[in-house]
Amino acid sequence: MGRLLNISGSSGTQVLGIHRYPTVSEAASGGQWNIRQCRGYHLRAMIACINSVPAPTEDAADDRRLWRHGDEDYKPVFSSKATWEQLRAHSPRLAWCKVVWFPQSVPRFAFITWLEFQDRLSTGARSRAWGCVQPCLLCGEPDETRDHLFFACPYSFTVWTDLVGFLLGSRVNPDWTATIASLLSSRRKEIDTCLLKLALQATIHA
């Protein structure tokens, strides 16, 4: 029902005949709940709820503090991962997540790459909305978008091809979507995929 004090109000402990800061065992004796019956409607519902739970007995084992690890899964040890998994909002896994987050990635590169995937970098196309005109600094193209920089821009595409062309082979492509699809392809050696992802992230960061 939540915090009982929120239901009963600040005078609730007096009305129920218990201390302000009691333990659960102090509100029970002889296997019975040791609280007064009250007339108030909101208190009666609360008391009925308390009475539906067996009162603790003197010969019962000590209470133990347990940490929730999942639905109906309680353990004595605390896990920050299990706790975070229950606190956070879960979203479906995106296809490109493995290009951003992988064991060998460099955190500051991965972060800027994550922004880039969401098209949140301050490119010329975005800064135009803020009244600031900025063409592509590499080739002069007036519409400097994410897809232009990676790698429709002839300048950045040349650098990209020189950098990783030997790994991408004939599949080197100036199109952003095609580049990511190629990086996600499973037909490449694992070490090559790792190098390509690191090169992409370092390029975006630079």
183 binds Zn ion (CB under 5 A): no
DSSP 134-166: ---TTT--S---HHIIIIISHHHHHHHHHHHHH
Binding of residue 139 to Zn ion (CB under 5 A): yes
**Cα 155 to Cα 144: distance, rounded to the nearest angstrom:** 13
Task: Name the segment binding Zn ion (CB under 5 A); options: 61-69, 74-82, 111-119, 137-145.
Answer: 137-145
Number of residues that bind Zn ion (CB under 5 A): 5
Residue showing tokens 């920050």 = 80
How far apart are CB 136 and Zn ion at their closest, in Å?
Answer: 3
Residue 163 interacts with Zn ion (CB under 5 A): yes or no? no
- Figure out which of the listed residues 47, 99, 153, 204 binds Zn ion, where binding follows CB under 5 A: 153
- The Cα–Cα gap between 37 and 50 comes to 11
Which residue type is seen at 2? G
In the complex, minimum distance from the CB of residue 159 to Zn ion, in angstroms, rounded to a whole number:
11
Q: Which residues contact 143 (CB under 8 A, 6 or more apart)?
A: 124, 125, 135, 136
| Residue 138 near Zn ion by CB under 5 A | yes
Summarize as ranges the residues that interact with Zn ion (CB under 5 A): 136, 138-139, 141, 153
